[in-house]
Chain A
Amino acid sequence: AQSVSQHNHHVILSEAASLELGCNYSYGGTVNLFWYVQYPGQHLQLLLKYFSGDPLVKGIKGFEAEFIKSKFSFNLRKPSVQWSDTAEYFCAVNAPYSGAGSYQLTFGKGTKLSVIP
Chain B
Amino acid sequence: DAGVTQSPTHLIKTRGQQVTLRCSPKSGHDTVSWYQQALGQGPQFIFQYYEEEERQRGNFPDRFSGHQFPNYSSELNVNALLLGDSALYLCASSRSTEQFFGPGTRLTVL
Residues of A within 8 A of B (CB): 4, 32, 34, 36, 42-46, 49, 51, 90, 92, 94, 96, 100-110
Tell me the complex Cα distance, A4–B101, Å: 19
- Whether the Cβ atoms of B97 and A51 lie closer than 8 Å is yes
- In the assembled complex, 30 residue pairs joining A and B whose CB atoms fall closer than 8 Å, in A order, are A4-B42, A32-B97, A34-B98, A43-B101, A43-B103, A43-B104, A44-B101, A45-B101, A46-B100, A49-B98, A92-B42, A94-B97, A102-B56, A103-B33, A103-B55, A104-B33, A104-B45, A104-B48, A104-B58, A105-B43, A105-B45, A105-B99, A106-B45, A107-B35, A107-B42, A108-B42, A109-B40, A109-B41, A110-B40, A110-B42
Interface string of B43-56 (1 = CB under 8 A from A): 11100100000011
Tell me the complex Cα distance, A90–B42, Å: 7
Chain A CB within 8 A of B81 CB = no
Interface size band for B:
20 to 34
